[in-house]
Chains A and B, each alone.
Chain A
Amino acid sequence: MQNLKRKKSLLRAAAGAVSAAALLAASFMPSHAAWEPAKPVTLVVPAGTGGGADQMARFIQGVVAKHNLMSQPLIVINKAGGAGAEGFLDIKSSKGDPHKIVITLSNLFTTPLGTGTPFNWKEMTPVQMLALDQFVLWVNAESPYKTAQEYIAAVKGGTDRQFKMGGTGSKQEDQIITAAMERLTDGKKFTYIPFKGGGDVATQLVGKHIDSSVNNPIEAVAQWRGGALRPLCIFDAKRSTYTEKVTDTTAWSDIPTCKESGADVEYQMLRGIFMPGDVTAEQVAFYNDLFAKLMATPDWKDFMAKGAFNQTTMSGPDYRSWVEKNEKLHQDLMQEAGFLAKTN
């Protein structure tokens, strides 16, 4: 209302048709949509360049620019240090700054739990779940295993640590899934080999340096289409909804869930947006609106299909309780696998 008064005095001083029209528009605008960024918005990626989160962030940046969704530019910055701790600590220390947002991967939960770095999602403001990233169990196409049952039977029948599972990072999502799978293998363990990025893992599997991986769809799809890798099952409750053929004979929806293949493991990774703590409801509403527009673009739909994402989106209290539930889930999974940092 102060703004309105100032405008009124301005109007009295120099009345003009143009400013009167502006005033009219301003006074009719609902108050909660009033906030808009006053300077460029930084999108922090708590991971390196080229990975899944980075690809999504840069894609968002491109689509926002292409469709003019925001008056200020969006700038992507990678803060990957300490398994993403660097990025999250930056958001934590930017309390009340509405010009900074962060895109998450599972390290939102795993990094504080696994390394003891002092941050928690509760110190940030959940804004929007964009999608859930899937995980698929992959083997080399030349290996004899056609289904998840066959592969798990082979692990059971082999010697301990004979089968090598490659994954991204240590004590993060890939190793958590591996640990969960070890519940089904009669005490036989995988040898888990950590690599820097998902692309490396897929290549190592093509080169047969490892026996299997749990790559995200987007990381392995090129090798699948090229006939080098074979998907065995998807770690989701339901099959993928993408029915378009990816290879000559198979679509994402043809990959059975791990549960139907007798390997009852479910895991998905959050691709969501958070803001620093202590921001106003108007500021959160602005970003909710921005991402709603973004997700309505055809570019976004294409991107989702290419990476076979699970297009569950949430915001507000739903999102908050989802994050809460998932933090507990990670805590349990990591506790069971013995991945929790000693300081916790």
Chain B
Amino acid sequence: MEEVSALFQGFAVVLTPFNLLLMLIGILLGVIIGVLPGLGGANGVAILLPLTFSMPPTSAIIMLSCIYWGALFGGAITSILFNIPGEPWSVATTFDGYPMAQQGRADEALTAAFTSSFIGALVAVIMITFLAPVVAKFALRFGPAEFFAVQFLTFASFIGMGRTSPFKTIASMCLGFALAGVGLDTVTGQLRMTFGFEQLLTGFSFLVAVIGLFGIGEILASMEGGLAFRGATANLRLNAVLETWKKLPRYWVTSIRSCLVGCWMGITPGGATPASFMSYGLAKRFAKGNRDRFGKGELEGVIAPETAAHAAGTSALLPMLTLGIPGSPTAAVLLGGLMIWGLQPGPLLFVENKDFVWGLIASMYLGNVVGLIIVLTCVPLFAAILRIPFSVIAPVIMVVCAIGAYTVNNSIFDVWMICIFGLVGYVFNKLDYPLPPLVLALVLGNLAESSFRQAMLISQGSVAIFWSNWLVGIIMTLGVLLLLWPLISWIITKLRGPALPEPVAVETPHPHG
């Protein structure tokens, strides 16, 4: 139990009034950063990084990692209240979180999101505490083929279960891939589909797309629907937290599965965004009874992505510390910070800077507890925002969206883009095309493409590389199975005879894809 004593030493390092104050400031800043779309955890940490150079490294990392936790918590708030994911990993939270808010259950959704985030993070921290040396080596097994297999699995776990026609899902996804292809191709170094526009050099950033598709699109739809948020009639329930907590234990299987998915994706390092999508897809796939309730305000649909995103976000710090590979953009900025403070992330960090490492791990425990308490006490406050009349809140949301879009690249072009994406989102809703496949393809399309092409370069064009060792083979086979599952289950039903109706066939369209 060497780790336990080291951990307690870490707590001793963290528990000074100065460090606790920094922790509190960090969490609050993080929540604000998470709420404002466009700012993002990575930007937030990058902006504040220079402020910390005059502090001792341990205090600095405590504050910065607390900003990171705060941003992870905060991302869920706008997703649930306004259908605007402030971070890529909160996109999946909107699928069920926003319908819940519309039904007047915003407080329930927020409580579930925060609590799940906390559980995900806690499990990941415990894993970091005890398994760090064992697990760290695992990330090294991941080459381009393995990365592609994981990305393929994410797509597969998400595709084979569309509510609408599979052709609409594919059309939406292809549009996402096309948008992801704009900009510089990293493999050949050539510009693609920029049509001579300087603004398109960067490609379409995820945030600009989701702010438009989800945020602006939703406002357009609400305007048509009579200028009212349907959640406005909700009563304020001060005991919402306790009420929701009573329901949560029912979903223990989903929680465990999401923790596993999250930890795995954080270590490998696949990242929080694929983790949240994959976890949502799997929760729906393995749900008991009617899968239709997903996307219409199902509590489980909030728990799954939030648990996984937080577990992944937290365990992403492990490869950063032990190998010097950042598992997320924010971790990459933190990594830069470590070097400036004179610490060298890598295999020797745990040996040479024990105090620092265990102080950081202890701050993960405390930071998450402090974060949870702060955000939970604010749940009624956040939910009350929906009681503000739509005519007041809609312009505010528009302004925040515009600022968020502008912040991404400091470009006014992006503000016009969110308006166009808003119209696209509105049309998609009207024609009942699903938006999530488009967003998923936009987020992961680039990564999947470059991993695939890197793998093809390594294997000199042979796809056998995806079954060249047990690790990549298992992930790839799982992906193929998930992808073909609708076909397989259809065949099974046929073989059993027409007595059993196929549940997928009765799915109905949903107004808020």
Contacts and interface: CB of A to CB of B under 8 A. Distances in A.
B336 A115 contact: no
A117 B183 CA distance: 12
B329 interface: yes
A33 to B, nearest CB: 26
Given A55-B340, A199-B326, A169 B189 contact: yes
Given A50-B335, A62-B50, A169-B186, A86 B458 contact: no
Interface in A112-152: 114-117
A193 B454 contact: yes
Interface of B: 42, 46, 49-51, 53-54, 139-144, 183-191, 194, 198, 201-203, 323-326, 329, 332-333, 335-337, 339-340, 342, 344-348, 409-410, 450, 454, 457-458, 460
Contact of A86 (B201, B323, B347, B460): B201
Given A169-B186, A222-B348, A49 B457 contact: no
Given A170-B187, A171-B188, 13 more contacts: A58-B46, A58-B337, A82-B191, A85-B198, A86-B201, A114-B189, A115-B190, A161-B460, A193-B457, A203-B325, A206-B140, A226-B346, A306-B342
Contacts of B42: 49
Contacts of B142: 207
The 8 lowest CB-CB distance pairs between A and B, nearest first, are: A222-B346, A81-B202, A226-B347, A209-B143, A82-B201, A170-B189, A50-B332, A207-B140
Interface centre among A77, A222, A339 (most CB of B within 10 A): A222
Given A49-B336, A227-B347, A82 B184 contact: yes
A164 interface: yes
5 contacts: A85-B198, A115-B184, A171-B189, A209-B144, A223-B324
Contact of B54 (A55, A66, A78, A115): A66
Interface string A215-256: 000100111011110000000000000000000000000000
Given A50-B332, A55-B336, A196 B186 contact: yes
| Interface range for A | 35 or more
Interface centre among B53, B143, B198 (most CB of A within 10 A): B198
Contacts of A303: 340
Given A49-B42, A65-B50, A202 B324 contact: yes
A339 B336 CA distance: 31
Given A169-B189, A196-B450, A209-B144, A82 B346 contact: no
Contacts of A210: 458
B335 A218 contact: no
Interface string A166-186: 000111100000000000000
Nearest to A191: B457
Interface in A31-50: 49-50
Contact of A222 (B198, B203, B345, B454): B345
Contacts of B144: 193, 204, 209
B458 A83 contact: no
Contacts of B50: 58, 61-62, 65
A218 B348 contact: no
B202 A86 contact: yes
Contacts of B344: 221-222, 225, 306
Interface in A61-83: 61-63, 65-66, 76-83
Contacts of B139: 203, 207
B348 A225 contact: yes
